[in-house]
Structures are given as structure tokens and as C-alpha cells.
Amino acid sequence: MSLLAVGSVAFDSIRTPHGEVEEILGGSATFFSVTASWFTSVSVVAVVGEDFGKEHFDIFHQRSIDTTGVEQVPGRTFRWKGEYLGDMNQAHTLDTQLNVFETFVPKIPPAYLDTQYLFLGNIVPVLQLNVRRALPHLLASALDTMNYWIQGMPEDLAKVLATVDILLINEGEARLLSKQNNLKKAAAIIRKLGPRVVVIKRGEHGATLFGPDSVFTVPAYPLDEVFDPTGAGDTFAGGFMGHLARTGDLSDANLRRAAVYGSVMGSFAVEEFGLGRLLRLTPGEIESRYREIKQLTHFDA
Amino acid sequence: MSLLAVGSVAFDSIRTPHGEVEEILGGSATFFSVTASWFTSVSVVAVVGEDFGKEHFDIFHQRSIDTTGVEQVPGRTFRWKGEYLGDMNQAHTLDTQLNVFETFVPKIPPAYLDTQYLFLGNIVPVLQLNVRRALPHLLASALDTMNYWIQGMPEDLAKVLATVDILLINEGEARLLSKQNNLKKAAAIIRKLGPRVVVIKRGEHGATLFGPDSVFTVPAYPLDEVFDPTGAGDTFAGGFMGHLARTGDLSDANLRRAAVYGSVMGSFAVEEFGLGRLLRLTPGEIESRYREIKQLTHFDA
């Protein structure tokens, strides 16, 4: 079924212990949509500048992603520069140039108004809310956010939280949002704010899904090398929502499978800089890693 | 089958955000043996002082633990005082009084010489080695150690590592021992030092077992409250080795079950101060939590 992503498209400059790259294609909507494109058809609402060329649009089109909603406006595309040291769990931002993203107002093309699955990437909460309200036919909506909005715009964030089905959030953000250190209690508090499903991402430790019927944990796939963690969270979301939209099944058993696909896709994302690995995948590789996570977690009752 | 634990018996004074206790029974051999006693018959080799009363021995005997190997000598029993703040993952030692533990030399009673399963708790590596060498009929031996010995006595530690089957170690210690940040690579390096099974404990994130045939992850059971983490690692080891000794089965499938029992028992340990919860268990509660971890991790292939 139809899946729409709203978020950022950016040029990322990244330094890790393994090397560095300059101005490669990134952003939450980009990682999400390229990932989800392995599962279902995806449309994107985002903004880019005049420096966003045909070669960049081609990356989306190569994955059959609908970019009708990617508005191109005067100015430069959003740029982010960051660095990972030592344990690779924490990005250190070196430079942020919002550029055209600073005045981004998502515009939903009429053809998208019957969208059934929605991912609201990490943007200003009030913009997320407007998008959510503009789409009356949703079967499931998912939200990402960050410390900056949790601390700076709690009222707006509360409004959008009250309207979504799923919150995908990392461990530190969950603690900040709930003012609760214990993750089980934190998830219970967040679920009372609106989302009936809370997925807490724990980086190299995997993720835990707190749903209406049960709690489910999925580990991260053990890799010999985490090359570049940029985009891993949005990639997890892309696998998760991609699987839900592909199947149209929101049962407890299928939410679990979706979380495993999230972990699978996240593990591919970090194997190379940027979108590298995510563009070179095959459906067979995805299914094979899904089975490896099954093997990694299986024990006899 | 017979399971022997060698390690410390101590009086712990503990402060956590939930309260504090003075001089309660603790120590690696204590937590291990009380835990393993739910699975199989256990003997202990340790040392205590003159202040170790009948009421303390009774705690072991109440769990049918053989204390023939617990030597009582002039002086005071080992004392440890520690505090947990904020995230509860790290103990801050406030005071350590080794007392009779300082000159502890494990003496294996003749009746224990045909022991088949051995746990070497965290003591001086050369003493661990002597115990290991004194037991010719072992089917499986497991070792715990700590930063202090990894950094201070690497040659002695290497000797004992070369003789054991299983190393149970926490995440930070595994990185220190292997000089490798990536846990998959760290486990591969450690396995080349001797143990064919390396279990890396990750506190609230669970544990990962790196064996000859596969890798297995088990989550920590999500608790509403971690009350006192003291002894959780030795408790994990007690559930793990207790299940192996009970079944006499070292297959890949059974190592996985053993790791789940380790996680189950660790989750009980942290629910109360000291041995509190571990002494009040029932076999039904253990099996019930095992099934809950199954439910927590299960997804369809």
C-alpha cells in the first residue's frame, strides 16, 4: 500500500575512523524512502535547493521513488557535517546549514491525499501536525523526533504525538520525553501521550517495541565493522514502515516482523558511507539477514 | 551433575536510589551457588572469618549447598561497600576490606575432586589456575575475571584462560581483554585465547553468546525497577552453569537455553537487595520468566 515520507533531504559530510566523505546524499526522508523502496512504493515530500541536480533525483528514481512532492526552490540544499569518534554511537555535529530547509513547509501533492501509511521524519512538530491532519485516509502513521523539539517545543510535540500511531525514538530521547529513566516505564508514559506503539531504538543493542499486546526485543545484527552510523535510525524506520505498508497488517505478530526488518535494514545502512549499501541490496540479501536474526535469537521453549 | 563454585563470600553494604543495607550476605560464590542451587546440587570453596555465624551458613544449607569447602579462619570476613547512582549500571566502590580473603588459597576437599562442572569466580588468576588443574574430571569449566586482573596480571590470566571452556565477561572487560572495540571481533580474539564459548554480559541490554557453532543474543527481562544490581553477573553465571550441569548437555541449542536461564536469574537478582529474591523463588517462577523471554523475542520466520 502507499507510503509517504516527509522529512529532510540533505548533503552530508561525514568523518569516521574509517575515512571521510564530502556532500553525499542524505537526510531523513532520503534514508527512509530508499530503504522502504525495497518493500513498497514510496513517495517523498521534502525541499531541495538549486544545487540539487538530476544525478541526485536519479538516485530516488532508480529506486522508483515518487519525487513529485520534492519541491525545488531558490537557494542551497540543507547541509550537515558530522564526525564519529571511538564508540561510533554518538555523532558530533561540526556544522549545520539549514539553507532551504529552514523555511520548509511540506506541501502534499493532491495525488498523495489518499496515502495510507505515513512517516513523519524529524522536522518541526507543528509541520508534522499539519501533514498528519491533511491526510484523512491513514491506516498507520509513524513519527520521529529529537531532543531539540522535546525540550524546545513540548506543547507542539504533544499535539502531534496525540495524532500518531507509532513513535520511533532512541533511548535517550525516550528518557527525556517521559522524564523516566526506566525504559519500560518510559514507554508506558509515552503510550499514554498517543502512540499505541513505541519503538525504542538502542543502537548497537537493537530495539524494543512496546505495543498494545506485548513487548518485543530485536537485537542489532552483529557486524565486524560499523562503518558509518549516519541514517541508521531513519533506515530502521524505513524497514519497519516499509514492511507494514507492504503487508497492510498491523497485528502484533506483524509489528514484530516489521521491527526485525527495521533491524535488518539498519545493519545494512551502517556497513558503508551514506546510501551506498542500501542502493546495492537485493531482496535475497534482505531475507537472508532476516533469517540470520531469527537464528541469532532462537531458542527452544 | 556436580557443580563446584570457587570465589568470594562477603558482607556487602549497599546504597541505591531505593535505600540502603548494611553487611548483608554477598560475594561471587554466594550469588552463584544460591542461584545454581535452583538447578542442581552445588558445592562451594571459599573463605570466611570468625564473624561468619551459623545464621550465614544456614542460608547456604537452606538451599542444600555443600559448604564443606568453606574454610573458616581467624579474622574478619571480606567486606565491600558500594553505591549505585542514576542509571544503576555502574557500582561505585566506597570501601573494600579484603580481610581473610586477602590470603585466600582455595583448598578442594577430596570429595569434590570428581567434580564435572566448575565456576571460577573473580579471584586472583593464579589461584583460578591451580583449582582448574586440580580437577581432572571436568566436563565444563567457566571463568569470570575483572579489569584489575586483565590489566595487572595478563600473563597469569592468559594461562588460566587457556584451560577453561567458557568465559563469562562484561562488555567493558571484553573490550579491555581483546583490545578491540567491536564485540564480534573481541569475542573472536578471546576465543583464540582458549575458551570455546564467550558470553558477553551487557547489563540492561542482555547478553551475547559467541560459541563454536553460532552466535546467540538474549535480552534482559524488562523490569519496572532495577532495585540493586549487585551480584547480577554472578547470578547470570549461576543460571547458565546451573542449567548446563543439570542437563549435562553442551550442545549449541542447550548453551542457548543456559544463556536464557542466566538472563532469567539475573532479572530476579536485581529485584531486591542482595539474595532476597533469589532465596524466595519457586521453580514455577523461573520457568514462567523463561517463557516470558521466549515471548519477548519470538517472531515468525
pLDDT in tens, B89-126: 788 999 999 999 999 999 999 999 999 999 999 999 99
pLDDT digits (tens, 9 = 90+) for A222-236: 999 899 999 999 999
Residue B41 neighbours by CB under 8 Å, 6+ apart: B2, B3, B64, B66
pLDDT class for A161, splitting at 50, 70, 90? very high
pLDDT digits (tens, 9 = 90+) for A251-276: 999 999 999 999 999 999 999 999 99
The single residue listed with the C-alpha cell 514492511 is A243
Q: Is the pLDDT of residue A83 over 80?
A: yes
The single residue listed with the C-alpha cell 565477561 is B169
As to burial, measured by CB atoms within 10 angstroms (0-12 exposed, 13-18 middle, 19+ buried), residue A30 is: buried
Distance from CA of A294 to the nearest CA of B (A): 7
Closest CA to A3 of A160, A140, A106: A140
Question: Which residue on chain A is closest to B259 by alpha carbon?
Answer: A299
CA trace torsion B170, B19, A176, A243 (10° rounding):
50
pLDDT digits (tens, 9 = 90+) for A165-215: 999 999 999 999 999 989 999 999 999 999 999 999 998 899 999 999 999
**pTM for the whole thing?**
0.94
Distance from CA of A36 to the nearest CA of B (A): 20
Closest CA to B215 of B170, B259, B273, B167: B259
Q: Work out the percent of chain B whose per-residue pLDDT is above 90.
A: 94
Contact B114, B86 (CB under 8 A): no
Spatial distance between the Cα atoms of B131 and B117, rounded to a whole number of angstroms: 12
Query: CA B140, B146, B149, B155 torsion: positive or negative?
Result: positive
pLDDT digits (tens, 9 = 90+) for B244-281: 999 999 999 999 999 999 999 999 999 999 999 999 99
Spatial distance between the Cα atoms of B184 and B12, rounded to a whole number of angstroms: 34
Closest partner residue to A300 (CB to CB) among B218, B225, B257 is B257
Residue numbers in B near A181 (CB within 8 A): 86-87
Q: Is the pLDDT of residue B239 over 90?
A: yes
Question: Given an 8 Å threshold on Cβ–Cβ distance, is A224 in contact with B298?
Answer: no
Question: Which residue on chain B is closest to A210 by alpha carbon?
Answer: B296
The DSSP letter of residue A7 is S
ipTM computed for the complex: 0.91
- pLDDT recorded at residue B92: 92
